[in-house]
Chain A
Amino acid sequence: MKYAAIFSLLLLASCSHKSKEVMTQEAPKPPQISNKSIEGNKSAELLTDINQLTFDGKRSGESYFSADGNQLIFQSERLEDNPFYQIFKMDLELGDVEMISNGVGKTTCSWIHPDGEQLLYASTHLDANAKQKQQAELDFRASGEKRRYSWDYDENYDLFIKDSSGTSQLTKARGYDAEGSFSADGKWIAFASNRNGYNDESDKLSKEEVKTFAVDQSYMMDIFIMKADGTELKQLTTHKGYDGGPFFSPDSKKIVWRRFSADGMTAEIYTMNIDGSDKKQLTTANNMSWAPYYHPSQKYIIYTTNTMGYANFELYIVDAEGKHAPVRASNLPGFDGLPVFTPEGDELYWTRKKDNNNVSQIYRGNWNHQAAMKALGLE
């Protein structure tokens, strides 16, 4: 349990990974006024010209692009009356920022359909107690106390789609439904859910499962797929332990995700076909590798890992077949995770917490695809 204890000290943004999280109650730092380049990125060959994209609010992260690369959807804690993440969309041409979620409850894990109109995210706004939970959290933060807590797998999370006609609910099951993303062809949604842990027919769960689920709601988390309209639901994984953070490959034929061991100690990167066949483990570092994401060339996957220590999660790339050794892509102090490529594949956006001040924000840098291919031996 030593690792678990250390791990729980990490502040991780959520989506690709719902893991234990410590929330400390420091006052947010005043917004930085200068957007200085980050010093000391030694992997300058792959990732260059880094700067900070978001400043507002205490935390922002988990940014994902529209297919044309002009919109960025992300989550951010920046409302005065709601301490939890809400979903925002930024116009990358004009800098306009618009709130997508309705400001109530908790939200996470957003995605833009390739049609550019439908916006997918997970939310608890239908929970009758949503506002009480907001107030309770605000009161707690105002008290100045600190506490440890794990990521809140609120069982009221469901998937929603918002478009110009309004908001529609895609999943209704009791349990945490989140971490959803559309396939590149727009036909499918993959997501993670621990709904099986709430299965009332208790004979379906073993005693061991019931017991473990009671203390760790991620234990029963699995990957599901369904049509973009919510029909044809199918479970793709049955592994005990947290399967989450599924993203489709650019050709929409594969899913990449990360799988935690049953005890939550380690995580590795996997791929499978969208029907659940051909599951393949790409990393074997036996530490915590997660938040995988395909490069648009589909040649390799970027992810974050604690190879360099829990205080310094770094970005790595591994070829899509897992045939070559992973290559380190970032060399920056603090937490660097949740990476995504622009649709052109020439820029990288990720969530960065540069020190222990609990402020995480979105950063961007130029990505050298040729150098990455070369480093992975793919040329």
Chain B
Amino acid sequence: MKLVLGLFLVLQIMFAYAKPYTPINDENLTQHVKKITELGGRSAGSKSEENAAKYIDTTLKEIGLSPWGSQSYKHTFEFSAGTKLGPQNRLTVNSENLHINKDYRPLAFSGTGTYPISQVVFVGYGITESDEGKPESAYDSYSNIDVKNKWVLLMRYMPERISAKQRVAINRFSSERQKVMNARKHGAKGVLFVNGINTVEQEELIPLSSNSSTSNDGMPVISINKNVVDRWFKDMNKDWPAIQRKLDSGEYIKGFTFKELDVSAQVDLKQEAKKGINIMAYLKGNSDLPAVILGAHYDHLGHGETSASLAREDEKGLVHPGADDNASGVAGLLVIAEYLVMLKNKGKFSPKRDVVFAFWSGEEIGLLGSKRMLESYGEKDLSSQFMANINMDMIGRLRETLIIQGSGSSSQWNKIIEQRNAPVGLNITLQENINVPTDATNFYSHNVPVLSAFTGSHPQYHSPRDTADLINYDGIAKISKLLALITRGLALQEQPLDYQKRKPKNKKDVRNSIYLGTIPEYGYEGKGVLLSGTANGSPADRAGIKGGDILVEMSGVSIDNIYSFVDVLDALQADKTVKLKIVRDGKIVELDVTPTLK
């Protein structure tokens, strides 16, 4: 009996202090993540994205939030989803029409229209080493050959067995774009790319998805199957394998015209425009003070169509459910909204500021949704619109510690986080900078202090294995509670947050560290370095570099990827201005930039 009585006492105590209901609970979160991931991979512009938008839309209505900024929760934005073939492509060789996608395929940046060019000239690798002050011996595939008003046929890449020194010298002239520019310079009217006959390449035709930025300046650029070209060589009694061997050793071979070859083309490319949907709702404040805006992107990678997918060979084409990335953040944002509405109804929250809830699309294709929303204001400094942005991107895998990025964006963050974490008790690692490109970065570059919650990467990242069963729902609940309390505090606060620009860190031992302030895009695999933005006030910022620019050349050296970028960067000198080439909206733009010491 004693034991029974004891139990009774304990139960009584527990019932007397039963915690009040909160919508921030595992059950709600589990349901949201489950529902959202069941709707598919949610790539921007897809049916799956639209269905997810519908789910969020409906939930917001149930919660009782008003649409923000318009009659509808949904704010659509257009974006280019890449280049597609139109129906009118033709490549005719001696009156025979070749097969599209088997024998030939235009490049994404090819000119479009009809090109009745006739003659074809082989110019080897099509490279001209054309710097001022170069010696006569500079590499030049076009030496002593007239290509005016003709097609040039050239091999992709560059000679395979030349010295490293030579390779460095001509590397920057060997990209497809450089070769096309070079052909134009020599008066050619069209370019035919072919893989070398000795070159082992998985795909014979250059995919449309490479060179995705569009610059159509009128010249046809077509990738052609080497089986087709092999016949041309044979008809001329030319030994292509031998020719390539010579070229690969660095030897010069004079170009020649394919006699009795008549080639004409018609190129038809379409820019595929798609619509993405941002969903915006808000809780009204009782003043005109700048709003607190919370955000989480709900789009993901679809079936892994883009290079951002990290699916294994056996998973290719499967749905990428993105449970952590970022159904977790969406679920968090939904329960935060419900919680704040509940507090408001209970009289525990009468916000001075509007609290805006934004569900972004297009995050996975370059932070597009939030970017377009912010750009719609038409000004850089949006501190008069937004007091702060609180972002959630991948908060579903809480292990030891919650990572909060951007705490350096305002001097007040540390104290605010500590105060509001008291009732929650999370272990938190604060990072001053935003190191992972996420929507908060866009706000930060519009002078808005940001915080972005993140529970760290994992082996399932960007793969079909990022599933709902691996989510730590209690973790999302804790993080949501913390962010809800921070939001509530901000919305009650009349004083603005001070906005702090990024400080260079470790002043002591960075004597030799050269600083540009570019923020490279994570996961970009094209040529060059795609930038998602620049640090405010950094040399890159002052030079006029913008998010979306692709860095292709610096100080006269070609930039292939992030690694070559870092190598070149290290070789620069502080306070010495160098030339920078970027691809912006498909055009090469030259800028001057003056690096500093970090």
Q: Which residues of B contact A36 (CB under 8 A)?
A: 401, 427
- Given A94-B348, A343-B17, A344-B17, A35-B426 contact (CB < 8 Å): yes
Check: A53 CB closer than 8 A to any chain B CB: yes
Q: Which residues of B contact A322 (CB under 8 A)?
A: none
Structural contact, B423 and A31, CB atoms closer than 8 A: no
Structural contact, A95 and B419, CB atoms closer than 8 A: yes
List A residues 27-44 near B (Cβ within 8 Å).
31, 33-37
Question: Please, which residue of chain A has its CB at the minimum distance from the CB of B426?
Answer: A35
Check: B414 CB closer than 8 A to any chain A CB: yes
Tell me which of B343, B415, B420, B422 contacts A31 (CB under 8 A): B415
Tell me which of A31, A297, A379 contacts B418 (CB under 8 A): A31
- Given A90-B422, A94-B488, A95-B420, A31-B414 contact (CB < 8 Å): yes
Q: Which residues of A contact B425 (CB under 8 A)?
A: 35, 49, 51, 53, 364
Q: Which residues of B contact A227 (CB under 8 A)?
A: none
Structural contact, B423 and A54, CB atoms closer than 8 A: no
Check: A345 CB closer than 8 A to any chain B CB: yes
Question: Please, which residue of chain A has its CB at the minimum distance from the CB of B486?
Answer: A95
The docked-state distance in angstroms from the alpha carbon of A33 to that of B430 is 6
The docked-state distance in angstroms from the alpha carbon of A34 to that of B427 is 6
- Given A34-B429, A344-B17, A94-B423 contact (CB < 8 Å): yes
Q: Which residues of B contact A94 (CB under 8 A)?
A: 343, 348, 423, 485, 488
The docked-state distance in angstroms from the alpha carbon of A36 to that of B428 is 7
Structural contact, A297 and B10, CB atoms closer than 8 A: yes
List A residues 70-127 near B (Cβ within 8 Å).
90-97
CB proximity of B180 to chain A, nearest CB, Å: 52
The docked-state distance in angstroms from the alpha carbon of A56 to that of B417 is 11
If over half of B's interface residues share one DSSP class (helix, strand or loop), that class is named, otherwise mixed; here it is helix
If over half of A's interface residues share one DSSP class (helix, strand or loop), that class is named, otherwise mixed; here it is loop
* Number of CB contacts from chain A to chain B under 8 A: 71
The docked-state distance in angstroms from the alpha carbon of A296 to that of B16 is 12
Check: A68 CB closer than 8 A to any chain B CB: yes
Q: Which residues of B contact A343 (CB under 8 A)?
A: 13, 16-17
CB proximity of B429 to chain A, nearest CB, Å: 5
Check: A239 CB closer than 8 A to any chain B CB: no
Q: Which residues of B contact A373 (CB under 8 A)?
A: 6
The docked-state distance in angstroms from the alpha carbon of A109 to that of B20 is 29
Check: A69 CB closer than 8 A to any chain B CB: yes
Q: Looking at B14, B415, B422, B428, which has the most chain A CB atoms within 10 Å of its CB? A: B422
Q: Which residues of B contact A92 (CB under 8 A)?
A: 422-423
Per-residue interface assignment for chain B, residues 365 to 378, with 1 indicating a CB less than 8 Å from any chain A CB and 0 otherwise: 00000000000000
Q: Which residues of B contact A37 (CB under 8 A)?
A: 427
Q: Which residues of A contact B424 (CB under 8 A)?
A: 95
Per-residue interface assignment for chain B, residues 425 to 440, with 1 indicating a CB less than 8 Å from any chain A CB and 0 otherwise: 1111110000000000
- Given A94-B348, A297-B13, A344-B14, A34-B422 contact (CB < 8 Å): no
Q: Which residues of B contact A297 (CB under 8 A)?
A: 9-10, 13
CB proximity of B474 to chain A, nearest CB, Å: 12
Per-residue interface assignment for chain A, residues 171 to 197, with 1 indicating a CB less than 8 Å from any chain B CB and 0 otherwise: 000000000000000000000000000
List A residues 327-347 near B (Cβ within 8 Å).
343-345
Structural contact, B489 and A35, CB atoms closer than 8 A: no
List B residues 397-452 near A (Cβ within 8 Å).
401, 407, 414-415, 418-430
Interface residues of B (CB under 8 A from A): 3, 6, 9-10, 13-14, 16-17, 20, 343, 348, 401, 407, 414-415, 418-430, 485, 488-489
Interface residues of A (CB under 8 A from B): 31, 33-37, 49, 51, 53-56, 68-69, 90-97, 296-297, 343-345, 364, 369, 373, 379
Given contacts A97-B419, A297-B9, 5 further A-B contacts (CB under 8 A): A33-B414, A34-B427, A94-B485, A95-B421, A297-B10
Query: What are 22 A-to-B residue pairs whose CB atoms are below 8 Å?
Result: A33-B430, A34-B430, A35-B418, A35-B426, A35-B427, A36-B401, A36-B427, A55-B418, A56-B415, A90-B422, A92-B422, A93-B20, A94-B485, A95-B419, A95-B422, A95-B423, A95-B424, A95-B489, A296-B13, A297-B13, A343-B13, A345-B13
Which 8 residue pairs spanning A and B have beta carbons closest together?
A95-B420, A55-B418, A33-B430, A344-B17, A51-B425, A95-B485, A92-B423, A95-B423
